[in-house]
Amino acid sequence: MTSLFSRVVRAVKQLSSEVVVGAQCGSAVLRGAHVFTPGIIASPKCKSPVVQSMLLYNTRSACDVFLFFLRADMKTGDVVSVFSDLEGKCTRGATSFQGKTAFVGNGVSEVERSSIFCSDKPAKGVGIRMVEPLYWSPSFDGVLPNLAFLQNLPSVVVGHVLGPRPGERILDMCAAPGGKTCHIAAIMGDQGEVVALDRIRNKIDRIRQNAQMLHLRSVKVYCFNSTQAVSSDPALQTEGPPFPPESFDRVLLDAPCSGLGQRPNMACTWSLKEICSYQPLQRNLFHAAVRLLKKGGVLVYSTCTVTLAENEEQVAWALKTFPCLTLQPQEPHIGGEGMPGAGLAPEQLRLLQRFSPELTWDQTQTTAPLHCRADKDTIGFFIAKFLKN
């Protein structure tokens, strides 16, 4: 994070009036968002300068000007500095906080302190409109909403590596909020069928909304646990899941993962137990993916994490468990290659695509062509492409 800041961070002066937000909200601000009111944890009393005249005794001047600060509640229009609570220790509604924070920029308050913490109504909407964010990442909200969908670079690469063609039937096993689903449907010119599954019901609506906004009719959305998305029951007649084996031309398994490649990220709250819980889940999903794929079909496995266990080890396991799978070259291949340590041969590692969040390129390299630095200035990401023989 320090190296990220040193390169892109702007010199923004911290103000005396401070607002504390949650770490997730702070990360969103660094990605270009404003502060939404539910993200505000504390708005300590703001300091307003007050000029007063007072008589000073024992001086040659009869009076002097004295500046002091009066503490007042935050009001609409106040300019405040926003700090992210890194350890989640700030008490809601607190008026002062001495814990560990990170400064994320300055903004103008659109709410009063009392409407956040002393009201029965749930707080919603923009609370602080950021005018001087530390990390310059303009918001894409409302920009060409029917035509464009903003994704990070590795996610865009995934859609192309899958290589969907018009008229094909594609399965996106873990689809919400639907960024890759919509990209796949767009690459296919909305010709064919993209089945999008996700286990979490309230995330399903986001996939539908995004597909509708982009006028994509080929996207079919279902709330379903993809580990159970395959069934050999001959009586199965439904349009939706579970599906018979070998139902799809291509399958994308953009797996649930520990997300350790996500940037910016100011507070990692994962326990080791949680991080280790993903490998078995990913393998269960992989079993279903291989069964649902037609012979001659393509399976793409991707994660937004950096661990060997969820990436190269999964590839080594898959090649051993499913002899019908072979690793394939990826197009485009703008990331780095796979990491050694999981027993894969050097030629296999070269077929894998790993994007690394380490920022090692210095200022002198900023003019290097995109493909020379794409694997160094993105979120951490991993892509493997298989063919089912």
Ligand X SMILES: C[S@@+](CC[C@H](N)C(=O)[O-])C[C@H]1O[C@@H](n2cnc3c(N)ncnc32)[C@H](O)[C@@H]1O
Binding site for ligand X (CB under 6 A): 155, 174-180, 197-200, 203, 225-227, 254, 256
Tell me the closest approach of the beta carbon of residue 151 to ligand X, in angstroms.
7
Tell me the closest approach of the beta carbon of residue 117 to ligand X, in angstroms.
32
Tell me the closest approach of the beta carbon of residue 261 to ligand X, in angstroms.
11
Select 41 or 175, whichever has its Cβ closest to ligand X.
Answer: 175
d(CA 243, CA 44): 55
Q: Give binding residues for S-adenosyl-L-methionine as ranges.
A: 174-180, 198, 254
Quickly tell me which residue has 């001495």 as its tokens.
98
DSSP 185-220: HHHTTT-SEEEEEES-HHHHHHHHHHHHHTT--SEE
Select 199 or 220, whichever has its Cβ closest to ligand X.
Answer: 199
Tell me the closest approach of the beta carbon of residue 197 to ligand X, in angstroms.
5
Tell me the closest approach of the beta carbon of residue 253 to ligand X, in angstroms.
9
The phi, psi pair for 78, rounded to 5°, reads -70, 140
Tell me the closest approach of the beta carbon of residue 175 to ligand X, in angstroms.
5
CB atoms within 10 A of CB 370: 9
Select 174 or 221, whichever has its Cβ closest to ligand X.
Answer: 174
d(CA 117, CA 93): 6
Across the chain, which distance is largest between two alpha carbons, in Å? 103
The tokens describing 278, both together, are: 């993903």
d(CA 376, CA 117): 42
304 belongs to the catalytic site: yes
Question: From the candidates 25, 182, 257, 304, which is the catalytic residue?
Answer: 304
Select 256 or 264, whichever has its Cβ closest to ligand X.
Answer: 256
Q: Where are the alpha helices (DSSP H) in the chain?
A: 2-8, 23-30, 113-117, 153-162, 179-187, 201-213, 272-276, 278-292, 312-321, 346-349, 370-373
Three-class DSSP category at 348:
helix
Residue 22's closest CA among 78, 81, 113, 89? Answer: 89
Q: Give binding residues as ranges.
A: 174-180, 198, 254
**Centroid of chain to Cα 80:** 26
d(CA 67, CA 50): 6
Nearest-5° Cα angle at 328, 326 to 333 = 155
Select 4 or 156, whichever has its Cβ closest to ligand X.
Answer: 156
Select 254 or 377, whichever has its Cβ closest to ligand X.
Answer: 254
| Residue closest to ligand X when measured from CB atoms | 174
Q: Which residues are catalytic?
A: 304
